[in-house]
Amino acid sequence: MLYSAKVMEHFANPHNVGELKDANGVGEVGNQKCGDIMKMYIKVENGIITDVSFMTFGCGAAIATSSMATDLIKGQPITEALKLTNRAVVEALDGLPPVKVHCSVLAEQAIKAAIADYYRRQGIDPTPIVGDLGECEACAHESESCSCGE
Beta strand 25-30 with 37-45 is antiparallel
| C-alpha to C-alpha distance for 125 and 142, rounded to whole angstroms | 29
148 is catalytic: no
Which residues are 17's β-sheet partners? Answer: 54
Q: Which of 103, 136, 146, 148 is catalytic?
A: 103
Q: Which of 34, 136, 146, 148 is catalytic?
A: 34
**CA count, 13 A, side-chain hemisphere, 12:** 7
34 is catalytic: yes
As annotated, the active-site residues are 34, 103
